[in-house]
Structure 1
Amino acid sequence: MKKNLISFEEIQKICVRMPNWVGDVVMATPFLKNLRKAFPHQKIDLIMRAHLIPILEDFSYVDEIFPIYDKGWRGPFQSAQKLRHHKYDLAFILPHSFRCALTFKLASIPIRIGFGGALHS
């Protein structure tokens, strides 16, 4: 297993794939607060289901929130194409899902952190 050191100085754009359930989104807010403490000047965006966005739309620890529509077999490919345009340096994938991990792998985000398994880290 290849281990690379992360250079925090090089990270400018971060995205977080939020969980798919209301309670899990709420439980992830301490993570977001601590992420902002660790990266006070970097851009932090959230990627989440559209119906969950109102929960965090006034959350001051993130810069932007984008909806993800990854239904169907084309979903991960279409979502990855949209994510690729943002040129994120780092992604945190909170759902333990192969489909979510695949989307971020296809988006060519160089550093992906999530649950262990294929395509996550």
Structure 2
Amino acid sequence: MRRLSTEHRTAPHDEAEERLRRALQIGWELENLVGVATDLHWLGRVAVAQGRPEDGVVFAAAASRLRDLVGGGLTVQLYQFDVDNPVDAARRELSDAEFERPWAIGHAQPLDDVVAQAVDSARE
């Protein structure tokens, strides 16, 4: 019963993750950087919800850096209704030191590496 309950809670995240990964891959191929930033942000939220806060922070940091590089674009606040920002959600789960490391990685890692990690993250 517990397993069924867990699957029920994670199933929507799994489906969302699959769709977001496909959108991210297409956006990256089309060089739609605003879309890539938005997809990375949402993949960060999904990763935190799935118990992978470090991945969530890496994706959110890369999204933040990408938005800075393109001069902003659409803000993710437009899409936030009743869900947490992945950064806020991860901060509740991680110590400062546990948070800072993936944040630094997300800001420093080449974007094509972050995109590849995000696209492949569910397959690990």
Of structures 1 and 2, the one with the larger relative CO (CA 8 A, separation 6+) is: 2
Q: Which one has a larger percent helix, Structure 1 or Structure 2?
A: 2
